[in-house]
């Protein structure tokens, strides 16, 4: 009889271990999904909308120079988001090198490159539009085309990363 009790206790311990392990896996999976969802939200926030700066640059490439009013309409919103964008980019490329759990090195590198790319492109847009508005200098078509293409490439990288993360979350 004592033997049966020991067997039952051992089986009960095994059942608890399986339960505890499944709970840990569920918690870890839930945490990783939350982290992935946070990254998806960040990527969506830093995505360049086709209606703002991209539209303005497209117009310039087509030979339609924007008026100061058109630039002035885009620039304040663009400049006002600067602090928020920098804070958001820190989530993609944390300074303490603590990256979201469960990401591969390639995924970390991709997010870091997106973060750097967004910061660099934002600065170029800001400089170009501020100079045009402040000094009344027309923006060259070539400069506008290069910047637009850089933004579109960044958007493609954001789309690919976001798509991969959304697929992993599902």
Q: Phi/psi of residue 50, each to 5°?
A: -70, -15
- 93: which DSSP letter? S
pLDDT digits (tens, 9 = 90+) for 89-128: 777 776 545 555 567 777 777 888 888 888 888 889 888 8
Q: Model's pTM, two decimal places?
A: 0.75
CA distance 148 to 144: 6
Q: Where residue 14 falls among pLDDT bands split at 50, 70, 90? A: low
pLDDT for 12 beyond 50: no
9 or 63: which leads in pLDDT: 63
CA distance 67 to 47: 25
% of the chain beyond a pLDDT of 90: 13
């Amino acid at each position: 009889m004592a033997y049966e009790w020991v067997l039952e206790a051992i089986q009960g311990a095994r059942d608890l271990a399986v339960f505890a392990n499944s709970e840990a896996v569920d918690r870890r999976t839930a945490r990783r999904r939350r982290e992935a969802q946070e990254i998806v939200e960040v990527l969506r926030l830093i995505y360049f909308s086709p209606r703002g700066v991209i539209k303005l640059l497209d117009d310039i490439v087509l030979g339609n120079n924007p008026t100061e009013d058109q630039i002035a309409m885009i620039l304040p919103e663009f400049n006002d988001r600067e602090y928020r964008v920098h804070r958001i980019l820190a989530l993609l490329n944390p300074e303490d090198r603590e990256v979201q759990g469960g990401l591969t090195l390639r995924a970390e590198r991709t997010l870091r490159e997106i973060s750097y790319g967004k910061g660099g492109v934002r600065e170029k847009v800001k400089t170009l539009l501020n100079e045009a508005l402040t000094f009344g200098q027309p923006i060259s078509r070539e400069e506008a085309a290069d910047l637009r293409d850089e933004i579109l490439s960044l958007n493609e990288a954001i789309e690919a990363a976001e798509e991969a993360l959304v697929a992993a979350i599902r």
